[in-house]
Amino acid sequence: MLILNFILFQIAWFACVLGAANAMPWLGVLVTVVILIWHLYKSKNVKNELKLLVYTLVIGAFLDQALLSFNLVNYVHHGWHQFIVPVWILALWLAFGTTLNMSLAWMHKRYYVSVIFGMIGGPLAYLAAEKLGAVTMTGQLSFVVLAIGWATITPALLYIARRVNIVKR
């Protein structure tokens, strides 16, 4: 299940990023919805998993809206108004939320590791999205803010996952 969760997240990530890069921002949303349905179907505690997904969506949307509002990242093909965080980014946050109690559960109590994981992994994901044509980073400050944001959000979300949904899979 853990490997499948990781693979499904990668599928959602590529669908969202490549969909946006190719003027199909809703493609990633559709793929992510299918993955979310499967994830919730397999969940032992749907109510708690839904809570975790909502927390992840709200916190992630706040970070990406800040990046957009401060012109640190430019997104292509939002799916709606260009001043609101793109629909495909919101789908990515939901897909990421599915990993918190599955493929990333090993970090639940390893907060220092999760800080480093977020600090490196977050900016690398945006760099990869930029190389694929879904985003444009506006400068070095963008990566610094991303590193700080993800170094904060990753352990916070893992802490929330542990507190909200302690059910072992």
Token code pair at residue 87:
């629909």
CA distances from 144 to 26, 66, 88, 102, 147 (A): 29, 14, 23, 28, 5
Q: What is the pTM of this model?
A: 0.94
Q: What whole-number percentage of the chain has pLDDT above 70?
A: 97
* C-beta atoms surrounding 44 within 10 Å: 11
pLDDT of residue 68: 96
- What mean pLDDT is predicted for residues 135-163? 96
Token code pair at residue 127:
């760099």
Give the domain ranges of the chain.
2-164
Q: Residue 167 — pLDDT band, cuts 50, 70, 90?
A: very low
